Structure 1
């Protein structure tokens, strides 16, 4: 190692975090929100997703996907490289206990306390909510991308609203203002807001029908409407999301996206 490199390492602040990302990617957005809420400084490397990935990138992730997350504890520690947003968020919440996720504290062989049971139940509810959203709602977003405008998209919008009313709305009954009555955003918001936001912001009658955003925030979804509006305005969400920049870029790429997600 050169003297210059040695000096740079010596001056570096640890742990060092580097994230290979694209601000238009909802999966990356999850990690950005988590890092912001944890107050962790990081270096970001923006990746152009419109072009083939360079060889150095594929060595880090042969799948060619973002985010890629690197964590170095100290100058003498190896760099850990992680991929897949949910796994990265889990890694961070394990290392840095916070308001994002309740801590379940038990005392070995003793029966769990009522506090531990409450925390474990809240953690279960958070997992249940996130799983429900990503198994029931999120697949329809990609189906909507691949569908023709008019009646085909309108039918999918009806499906989305029906499922939000049935599956998601009841789970937000105690969101005050955030999931489970939290005063701060939780792991639920970090994981889902990048996608609820895109459903809403892409509803401009060019990407998705404008009726989707209107109904998402309408009277049949009072809990969801209140919650999603707060989430979309949160500083930890908005600091990497520029609607005015990204929506026109999505419109430019829409023909290719429609081919990719075409309903068969």
Structure 2
């Protein structure tokens, strides 16, 4: 891995309310890269200008020295592979291949097991919120808690953020904060995590305290935005 930070020109097209887009911004901040942000209003049809950049209309997209990259997870992986840092060892470094495997396994588990339930809960009927919330928490207990036994305080015993936190940080903020707001995640989510997932909760709270994770985060705005979308979706389904 190598980098030429001074010669790198980066423009990130993103939405501050998207947990998916959040990861790329964490990576850029942790790497200390200079970049320009262009906010894409995802509540409206995409402009022809943005569709010319990303025909799928999704966020984030990144212009990296004239090359357009899409998909937050892949963008973050590209950045840490291009710019050497504490976030991820190279595969040729001692322990690097194993660290990359473990982080990859954790991130895959997080998104395939936990994030799917998180979105299913937010998109599901109101009467299933409590049941689905408990299912979300119990899945964290089963799938993630064991993988964080050696967190110290970050993944794998790292003293600084790793790619694991980069990829999942946007979701961690929401899992911790949404139970405070009526109609989003039930309060039982945190109750279960407090009693059954101490490793996860300690790790998650540490992630949520990092400036590179929270610098674009407005909890109230995010919660209100999701609440409005949920109400509109449920009203349309009646």
Whether 1:149 and 2:136 are equivalent positions in the alignment is: no
Whether 1:59 and 2:52 are equivalent positions in the alignment is: yes
Of stretches 58-67 and 199-208 in structure 1, the one that deviates more from structure 2 is 199-208
**Corresponding residue for residue 129 of structure 1:** 106
- How far, CA to CA, are the matches of 1:258 and 1:18 in structure 2? 36
1:248 to 214, 220, 224: 224
Two-structure CA RMSD over aligned residues (Å): 1.7
**Corresponding residue for residue 39 of structure 1:** 32
**Corresponding residue for residue 150 of structure 2:** 174
**Corresponding residue for residue 87 of structure 2:** 100
Question: Contact 1:61 / 1:83 at 8 angstroms: preserved in 2?
Answer: yes
Aligned partner of residue 64 in structure 2, secondary structure: strand
Alpha-carbon deviations, 1:176-210, whole Å to 9, x = none?
Answer: 00000100000000001111221222222222212
- How far, CA to CA, are the matches of 1:159 and 1:244 in structure 2? 25
- How far, CA to CA, are the matches of 1:40 and 1:149 in structure 2? 42
Aligned partner of residue 205 in structure 1, secondary structure: coil
**How much does 1:155 deviate?**
1.5
- How far, CA to CA, are the matches of 1:24 and 1:142 in structure 2? 14
TM-score, structure 2 length as denominator? 0.91
Aligned partner of residue 206 in structure 1, secondary structure: coil
Which structure 1 residue ranges, 5 or more long, are not aligned? 1-12, 73-78, 106-114
Which structure: larger Rg?
Answer: 1
- How far, CA to CA, are the matches of 1:259 and 1:184 in structure 2? 44
**How much does 1:158 deviate?**
2.0
**Corresponding residue for residue 24 of structure 1:** 17
**Corresponding residue for residue 3 of structure 2:** none
TM-score, structure 1 length as denominator? 0.83
Alpha-carbon deviations, 1:49-81, whole Å to 9, x = none?
Answer: 111111111111111111010011xxxxxx101
Question: Contact 1:146 / 1:259 at 8 angstroms: preserved in 2?
Answer: no
Which structure 2 residue ranges, 5 or more long, are not aligned? 1-5
- How far, CA to CA, are the matches of 1:224 and 1:246 in structure 2? 23
1:236 to 205, 208, 212: 212
- How far, CA to CA, are the matches of 2:124 and 2:68 in structure 1? 37
Q: How does 1:217-228 map to 2 (within 5 A)?
A: 218-228=194-204
Question: Contact 2:123 / 2:230 at 8 angstroms: preserved in 1?
Answer: no
- How far, CA to CA, are the matches of 1:169 and 1:246 in structure 2? 26
**Corresponding residue for residue 108 of structure 1:** none
